[in-house]
Structure 1
Amino acid sequence: MVPELSVVVYGRNAQGHLPDALAELTGTGLDGTGPVGAADPAPGAPAVEVVVAAVGPSAQDAAAHHPSVTVVPLPEGTPDSAARAAGAARASGRWLQFVHSKDGVTALAARAVAERAAALDDTVDVLLTDHVRSTWRHARMPSPDGRFLAKPGRRDVLLADCPDLLKVTPLLGTRVVRAGFWRAHAELFGTDDELFVAYAVALSAGRLATYDQVALEDRQVRAESLPPVTPEDRFALLETYERLLDLAAEREAGTGPSAVLYAAMVTASLRVVARDRLPEPAAREFFRRASRAAVAHRPADHRRPGGLEGVRRRLLEEDAYAKYRAFQAANQQRRKVRSAVGAGRAAVGRKVRDARYHQDLRRPVDPGLAVFSAYWDRGVACNPAAIAAKLAELAPHVHAVWVVAAENVPLLPPGTDHVVPGTRRHSRVLATAKYLVNNANFPNAVVKRPDAVHVQTHHGTPLKRMGLDQLDYPAAAKGLNFHDLLARVDRWDYSVSSNSHSTQMWQRAYQSRYVELDYGYPRNDVYYSATAADVRAVRERLGIAPGARALLYAPTHRDYEATWTPRLDLTALSERLGDDTVLLVRGHYFYGGTASPPAGLRRAGRVIDVSAYDPVEDLALAADALITDYSSIMFDYANLDRPIVVYADDWETYAKTRGVYFDLLAEPPGQVARTQEELTRILTSDAWRDETAAKARAAFRRRFCEFDDGRAAERVVRRVFLGESETSLPPIAPLDERTPAPTPEEAAQ
């Protein structure tokens, strides 16, 4: 059956949205199998085809999870115009809808569009639809386009007879085009300039029809995550409108459409001048060019609007830049006065930052000083600790200072140079350090100096939703100010990642302009450098008898629980596992180390509370296997290629309250238990380390241990602190060429 509509999803997997987009469009879950509420089409309903012109490795993922989708794999760097063309070439539908991979179309919306298109004959070239807009702040905000789309009703019209259709937001995804029409104008539409294509489609159409229902979710990424806007970008915007006005004249679109385009060009020009912080010479030059375009393309019967807007347009046409700026300043001052009067005599300022810190900010940046912090000033730990250690080895001229809370100072390794928050030296090192490295974030008050370098190392691979993706999960977002969060993110220069999944999720959750360092997690280097002697020494420190099986139980934090609630009956589990098994129990650090296993079992040495033990990497080296629920420790532990058992007794509740990026139960790192009885059965048989578990672990390692090969810290130090180029860094070793640390069983031999 020839499909009525082909939805062409194109481009790279921007910020990891492609899996969500395909799940919505195909009416399936993220794994491509289970239905998610999209009812089966009625008998005789027009067929919808999905074609994915995917750039990079996302093509393979799309093919694997959505076998019903036609996948066109494209090499990295393929521009959007070429991706659209490749998708259109494979599409067999009578109509085409082009949807960028970041945007969304539901299965129900696609079917509805297909039904509307099926009623149109070949004299109609374009079907205009409505959309909603989503940003990091708000989801599915309605568009202003409804009143324009409703004008023609069910009639198809010429653009000249309904020029207000050009006022529909210029998004290519809302222009459903007849395939023959698109191909006939392929050369005109073959540009990466979506604004031009969206308008050109309407200008070139013979007749147009409308569908005043939502057919697209325009997901706008945060501007700060995109490359900075340059003066050349703004000059190009002006050139786009001039090309469109020339095209309108060439197509003899009529006075109505030309007037709409002219008004759009002038509005966009004034918006650039008013809102974009262009350098003064560039702003003046843009104003001059916009003035020339406004005069050259002004319709013969054009009349300016009244009021302040009319004054703005007159000054633009007169190329009166100095007068425009003075007029703009006067309006801003008037608004400020009006706002102050409205606020009465209430306090108008916030408390100034600490005076000492501002004094220190006037000091020169010290190129030989690096400030480190981990887990909100808990001490020397995690990725920052591994980077600091490698820094001392490769760049000893850079001095490391740790920010550590006063209560944690006694736990520091001997000789650690440190500062306590709130002290005079703390203020000075934060203000003058060239390098600031953290696995969380520095306080809001820290100023990003232009010549300082901020490195965000993170402290886990995201299964649970993070950053902006927590907006839809109140339990997870409780107390989180997203504006402050993004202000902190905007200070990052580098973001360290251990796998492609993390890279995409960080881009999506923390939208800004940092550089991704796909080098691996430095804290995981030890899993490839530790020796048999190291493994034996850790087990001896923990009191694990030679030959005993050690199971590390490390559950994660739950946003819907105020304190740690043991999800296992440790007494019963230990009794069933026997005297030759030791349970290492580590509560999440959010709960302050409150694992507290039964005292009798502690005395017997069969359960050891390791909640306060650092570093956690030692515990992983000592353990024969890991038991966890949804903790990111599983991604790190997988580097050791040792058994992992997932105990997921509350998966549905956790996924619903916290939100997750993928279905762990469908793609686990090993065996999965939903009850304590299942867990006991797995651990008292060979199931915990059988062939099924090994296959699951191998697939998990391929996906999530992608960059971890034991040299991550070296790459970070060489790239960030020594300024070496990407091409000179140690290449990432293939997974099958890496040798993890010996298992306890191997170390005992």
Structure 2
Amino acid sequence: MQPRLSVIVHGRNVQGRIGACLDALTAQASEAFEVVVAAVGASAQEVAAGRPGVTVVPLPEGADDGAARVAGAERAAGRWLHFVHSKDTVPTGAPRTVADRTAELPDGVDVLVVDHVRSTWRHQGMPSPDGRILARQGRRDLPLADTPDLLKVTPLLGNRVLRAGFWRAHRADLAVSDERFAAHAALLDAERVAALDHIALNVTELRAQSLPTGPPERRYEVIDRHEALLALAMDRGAGPAPLAALYDIMLGDCLRVVARERLPDPVRREFFHRAARAAVAWRPEGHQHPGGLEGVRRRLLEEDAYTKYRTFQTLNRRRREARAALASRKHKVGLKVRDLRYRRELDRPVDPDLAVFTAYWDRGVACNPAAIAAKAAELAPHIRPVWVVSAANVPLLPPGADHVVPGTRRYWEVLARAKYLVNNVNFPNAVVKRPDAVHVQTHHGTPLKRMGLDQLDYPAAAKGLNFHSLLERVDKWDYSVSANGHSTRMWERAYPSRYTSLDHGYPRNDVFHSATAADIRAIRDRLGVAPGKRAVLYAPTHRDYEAAWTPRLDLATLADRLGEDTVLLVRGHYFYGGAASPLAGLRRSGRVVDVSSYDPVEDLCLAADALITDYSSIMFDYANLDRPIVVYADDWETYATTRGVYFDLMAEAPGHVARTQDELTELFTSGAWRDDTSAGAREVFRRRFCEYDDGRAAERVVRRVFLGESEASLPPVTPLDQRTPAPTPEEAL
């Protein structure tokens, strides 16, 4: 059967990256697409050889990217072609999504434009600026004259998927080594263009210092490329809107070269003169320059006024520096006024009944602080709670909740006068620790990954962290709440100071022992999970070495394999966009539910029959329910190496471990996810990490901190064997 899509990986093995590209593709093999590798040089061919289902086209070392694309396309059998450079990768699920979308496109559509993310040596998965353009086009397929903004999409051939017949008809334009020319030419040559607001490419931007440099005069090629594109647009009868868009792109690119690139002044001056000639020669009739500074730059370019332009550039830089200095002075004055008011409030007596609560960097009423505040209202009603909440999250507060917004006058007043300050992260550095105030650090998870000072040896985790300031904040703590002995030891190691550890359990986990069958039925009803359906919560964690979310599972395929009786509750931030996504139908049918913004997360745990996670601390909380947990650890070695961990999760997991999606699927389809081996591992895990979580943690914290009761008088921790977790969804029926 002819595949709908051919993914053509082309080029040499740049910095040894082709292996990662092929690993990502072969791990998601499907009848919907094939993989063809046009490998340049022995190194790339050696990596590609022997991979199942991969067609390898060997090319000599000197072959350029254009020749590689031609060779790969000649061997491709797909109706559509997706060219992926060997240094880049394809996200999980993307080939199937693209193949499904191309299958829906009518005849006459030649190009499908997709979204991408960028990765550098420092950050992974940074979003592109193209999503809003693609989303605006939506499901329509249009001639370029009706959608000229697509010319503003990042010029990569890898974010244009081409109909095979279209490629053959316009190979002369598309097979050139200059990828930027080919990317624009694809749109100019196309009869109609469609868009897919979905990430189908992860572009690796190589460090400039690692790439060979050519003579500075090669920058003249930027002008040559744009003039060739404008000539092509006129030859194709593209119309006024695409011509205007290409003209604006040319001017923008040329001015960026002049302003930002390090060129010898004679080369920069000559580049400016050539760009000026092109600007005049190709200016569309009636074209209007934008207003403001950009308009001034473009007019100076058209006038070929290089000296004026450089003077303007210098004056503008000085103007920016002056504005920045003025803003800095105003900021410093504002800080002085704030400090004066704050210091004045600090001279007033502490209010013994005032408590300030906040969670997750002022997100709202959540986590351990919320559970403590609720129990304090019951056991210590004299305490007046005030929540610190960001302005954006104020509308989400429970009705009647007293709150302050960070930076306001009352914010500093309550921070200065409160007896109790409760947080699951840290208060700002400017907050003064008064001798008679009590700071409670509740934390918000059990540490698998390295924390605090233990991050010193892990740059990916520690980026931007000032350890001296961190320790100053830690020194303000009076109490540190812990869920288990492991946490207590790790907190004392990572945050060394004189605080008292409260080995009382996590207050937020009390609900896992107090929730009733009626509560669980109500939660599932709110989530749209029908009675009798199996709900699986998928809750992966963030990677510090990734700047944005990177999908690790093909949820459409997973949902298909698990069957119609399973609902996937997905707590991530990568839902495939657009109605063309293979998840769209699954979402409409309720088989996949996006719970990324659902709070509280404890409700999701109560609603789920099982948990799939990777390295998230949610596994420690969920274990209190004594329900199956499956760890999906496709990048454990990378995570452990870059983030640092306190123990080997692969050897001490709370259930089965899957290293690939096929293994994960097999665990559920075979029933092994809840077998005796899983239960045995979970039992060992619970004894270690659910040590103090017996349903009375909040009570112990409130009695100890707010009521001043002695440690010996607090309710003792109920042994694990004597606890009764909340009923499972099956029991709740």
The answer on whether the counterparts of 1:585 and 1:595 sit within 8 Å (CA) in structure 2 is no
Match of 2:452 in 1: 467
Match among 420, 425, 433 for residue 435 of structure 1: 420
1:637 aligns with 2:647: no
Question: Is the CA contact (8 Å cut-off) linking 1:550 and 1:583 kept in structure 2?
Answer: yes
What's 1:561 paired with?
546
Counterpart for residue 368 of structure 1 = 353
Aligned AA (2:568): L
| Matched-pair contact (CA < 8 Å) for 1:465–1:658 | yes
How far apart are the structure 2 equivalents of 1:594 and 1:366? 47
Aligned pairs for 1:239-638 (under 5 A) are: 352=336, 354-587=339-572, 598-638=583-623
- Give CA deviations for 1:353-403 in whole Å, capped at 9, x if unaligned: 632211111111000100000000000000000000000000000000000
State the alpha-carbon separation in 2 of the partners of residues 666 and 627 from structure 1: 17
One-letter identity of the residue aligned with 1:577: L
AA in 1 matched with 2:400? G
Q: Amino acid of the residue matched to residue 738 of structure 1?
A: R
* Cα shift readout 1:439-478 (whole Å, capped 9, x = no counterpart): 0000000000000000000000000000000000000000
Whole-angstrom CA distance in 2 between matches of 1:359 and 1:572: 62
1:656 aligns with 2:638: no
Distance 1:559 1:420 in 2: 28
Amino acid at match of 1:418: H
Aligned residues of 1:373 and 1:379 also touching (Cα < 8 A): yes
Q: Is the 8 A contact 1:489 1:510 kept in 2?
A: yes
Which amino acid is the alignment partner of residue 731 of structure 2?
A: E
**Equivalents in 1 of 2:683, 2:719: separation in Å?**
13
Counterpart of 2:700 (choices 699, 715, 718) is 715
Identify if the C-alpha distance between structure 1 residues 468 and 531 changes in structure 2 by more than 3 Å, giving closer, same or farther: same
The alignment status of 1:743 with 2:725, answered yes or no, reads: no
Read off the aligned partner of 1:466 and give its amino acid letter.
M
Amino acid across the alignment from 1:671: H
What amino acid does structure 1 have at the position aligned with 2:526?
R
- Is 1:666 aligned to residue 634 of structure 2? no
* 3-state DSSP of counterpart to 1:552: strand
Q: Secondary structure at the match of 2:457?
A: coil
Aligned equivalents of 2:469, 2:662: Cα separation in 1: 45
Q: Which residue of 2 aligns with 1:145?
A: none
Cα deviation, 1:690-723, whole Å, max 9, x if unaligned, reads 0000000000000000000000000000000000
TM-score (norm: length of structure 2): 0.53
User: Any idea what the Cα deviations from partners look like across 1:57-86, whole Å, max 9, x if unmatched?
Assistant: xxxxxxxxxxxxxxxxxxxxxxxxxxxxxx
1:647 to 626, 632, 635: 632
Question: 1:242 corresponds to which residue?
Answer: none
Find the residue that maps to 2:493 and give its secondary structure: helix
The AA in structure 1 aligned to 2:491 is W
Please report how far the alpha carbon of residue 599 of structure 1 lies from its aligned counterpart in structure 2 after TM superposition. 2.3
- Per the alignment, in what secondary structure is the counterpart of residue 612 of structure 2? strand
- 3-state SS, counterpart of residue 354 of structure 1: helix
Q: Deviations over 1:669-708 (max 9, x none)?
A: 0010000000000011110000000000000000000000
For the Cα contact (< 8 Å) 1:538–1:622, is it kept in 2?
yes
Which residue is equivalent to 2:230? none
Q: In structure 1, give the amino acid aligned to 2:446.
A: T
Cα distance in 1, alignment partners of residues 444 and 670 from structure 2:
33
Q: What is residue 668 of structure 2 aligned with on the other side?
A: 683
AA in 2 matched with 1:653: T
Name the SS for the 2:698 alignment partner. helix
Deviations along 1:159-207, whole A, 9 cap, x unmatched? Answer: xxxxxxxxxxxxxxxxxxxxxxxxxxxxxxxxxxxxxxxxxxxxxxxxx
Number of residue pairs the alignment of both structures matches: 397
Q: Distance in 1 between matches of 2:499 and 2:575?
A: 37
SS in structure 2 of the partner of residue 400 of structure 1: strand
RMSD: 1.5
Residue 542 of structure 2 aligns to which amino acid in structure 1?
H
Contact 1:465 1:661 in 2 (8 A): yes
Cα distance in 1, alignment partners of residues 614 and 550 from structure 2: 13
Gaps of 5+ in 2: 1-328
Mapped contact 1:594–1:611 kept (Cα < 8 A): no
Q: Deviations over 1:403-454 (max 9, x none)?
A: 0000001111111111101111111000000000000000000000000000
TM-score normalized by structure 1? Answer: 0.52
In the alignment, the residues of structure 2 paired with residue 685 and residue 533 of structure 1 have an alpha-carbon distance, to the nearest angstrom, of 31
